[in-house]
């Protein structure tokens, strides 16, 4: 079997299994099994595959057919132009979340101490540090910290920081529990799905993203309530709080922030036109 024949067979199998983006998935799995890039494929699509390559490809296609997410098979997901290691301990980085990083970059200044709660793979704080440094918005006088309640997530985030040589530190902590104060920016994409809605999510998300990273408890707002209340003790005067939110959480989250004394509250929409990011400033005298 040559590369092209394998690809066609893989596409067909995935499409018949109802996988949404069968051609893309079949391609990325072929690159992995054959150890090639798109360019190498384009140069010689009729190269005969080795037995071992074919066997590995068919196995990957078979696993994807069973709804194991593509990213768990390739072991990575790109976010803000960087490739992050992913596994069952972390939520696969979503493109929607790039808006949160872009908004944080608008507020970032050299010397700031930044905290990312519920860091998961570390994609938010690591890309913020990397891109911040590139743009002259971050230097050694500031700091970048990520925390997560899951030991597996903290391990993964540390591996990702090493992969990108990011100057970011990670702590295993239930929100602020193990942290000390003094942050200029707190950023978070917490679990925000209502418990009852989780069973309606697609299989790739419901069965393979960690439940811990999705479940926002009964009304989906559990972690916003806790973070908005507890952040008071950890934000410097004039410090910023930035959240990713679900499409229908704008009012609830902005109201919680107002009640707690946050000002300059802004909501930003994602590329699909849905409310996605809420920003507020804690102006303590
Ligand atoms: N945006 C994710 C999803 O749609 C949920 C992430 C979260 O709860 N923070 O599955």
pLDDT tens for each residue of 65-118: 999 999 999 999 999 999 999 999 999 999 999 999 999 999 999 999 999 999
Which whole number is the average pLDDT over 46-67?
Answer: 98
Rounded percentage of the chain residues whose pLDDT exceeds 90 = 99
Extract the tokens encoding 193. 């799905």
What is the structure's pLDDT at 284?
Answer: 67
What is the structure's pLDDT at 262?
Answer: 96
Q: Which atom of ligand 1 is nearest to the CA of 215?
A: 8
pLDDT tens figures, 164-173: 999 999 999 9
What is the structure's pLDDT at 181?
Answer: 85
What is the structure's pLDDT at 158?
Answer: 98
Query: Among 120, 123, 193, 197, which is best to mutate for testing ligand 1, by the most ligand atoms less than 8 A from CB?
Result: 193
Pocket of ligand 1 contains residue 222 by CB under 6 Å: no
Closest alpha carbon to 41 in 33, 63, 55: 33
Mean pLDDT of the chain: 97
Query: Among 79, 246, 271, which is best to mutate for testing ligand 1, by the most ligand atoms less than 8 A from CB?
Result: 246
Distance CA 182, CA 141 (A): 13
Rounded percentage of the chain residues whose pLDDT exceeds 70 = 99
Pocket of ligand 1 contains residue 205 by CB under 6 Å: yes
pTM of the model as a whole: 0.95
CA of 9 to the centre of ligand 1 (A): 33
CA of 10 to the centre of ligand 1 (A): 29
Extract the tokens encoding 253. 């989250």
Distance CA 142, CA 129 (A): 10
Pocket of ligand 1 contains residue 60 by CB under 6 Å: no
Pocket of ligand 1 contains residue 246 by CB under 6 Å: no
Strand, helix or coil at 242? strand
Q: Which atom of ligand 1 is nearest to the CA of 209?
A: 10
CA of 178 to the centre of ligand 1 (A): 25
Distance CA 199, CA 85 (A): 26
Pocket of ligand 1 contains residue 217 by CB under 6 Å: no
Buried b (16+ CB within 10 A) or exposed e, 240-264: bbbbbbbeebbebbbebbeeeebee
Does position 285 have pLDDT exceeding 90, yes or no?
A: no
CA of 62 to the centre of ligand 1 (A): 26
Which whole number is the average pLDDT over 208-230?
Answer: 97
Distance CA 285, CA 280 (A): 16
Strand, helix or coil at 245? coil
Q: Which atom of ligand 1 is nearest to the CA of 244?
A: 9
């Amino acid at each position: 079997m040559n590369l092209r024949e394998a690809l066609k067979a893989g596409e067909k199998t995935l499409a018949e299994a109802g996988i949404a983006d069968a051609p893309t998935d079949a391609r990325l799995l072929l690159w992995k099994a054959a150890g090639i890039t798109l360019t190498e494929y384009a140069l010689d699509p009729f190269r005969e595959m080795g037995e071992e390559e074919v066997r590995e490809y068919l196995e990957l296609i078979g696993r994807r057919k069973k709804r194991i997410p593509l990213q768990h098979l390739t072991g990575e997901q790109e976010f803000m132009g960087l490739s992050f290691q992913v596994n069952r301990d972390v939520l696969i980085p979503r493109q929607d979340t790039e808006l949160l990083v872009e908004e944080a970059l608008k507020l970032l200044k050299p010397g700031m101490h930044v905290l990312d709660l519920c860091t998961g793979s570390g994609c938010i704080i690591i890309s913020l540090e990397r891109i911040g440094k590139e743009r002259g918005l971050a230097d050694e006088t500031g700091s970048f910290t990520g925390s997560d309640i899951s030991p597996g997530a903290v391990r993964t985030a540390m591996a990702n920081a090493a992969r990108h040589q990011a100057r970011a530190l990670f702590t295993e902590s239930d929100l602020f529990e193990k942290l000390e104060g003094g942050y200029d920016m707190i950023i978070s994409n917490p679990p925000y799905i209502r418990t009852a809605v989780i069973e309606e999510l697609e299989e790739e998300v419901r069965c393979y993203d960690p439940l811990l990273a999705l479940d926002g408890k009964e009304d989906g707002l559990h972690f916003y309530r806790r973070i908005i209340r507890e952040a008071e003790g950890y934000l410097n005067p004039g410090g910023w709080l930035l959240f990713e939110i679900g499409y229908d959480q704008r009012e609830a989250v902005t109201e919680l922030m107002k009640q707690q004394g946050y000002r300059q509250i802004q909501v930003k929409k994602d590329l699909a036109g849905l409310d996605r990011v809420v920003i507020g400033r804690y102006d303590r005298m």
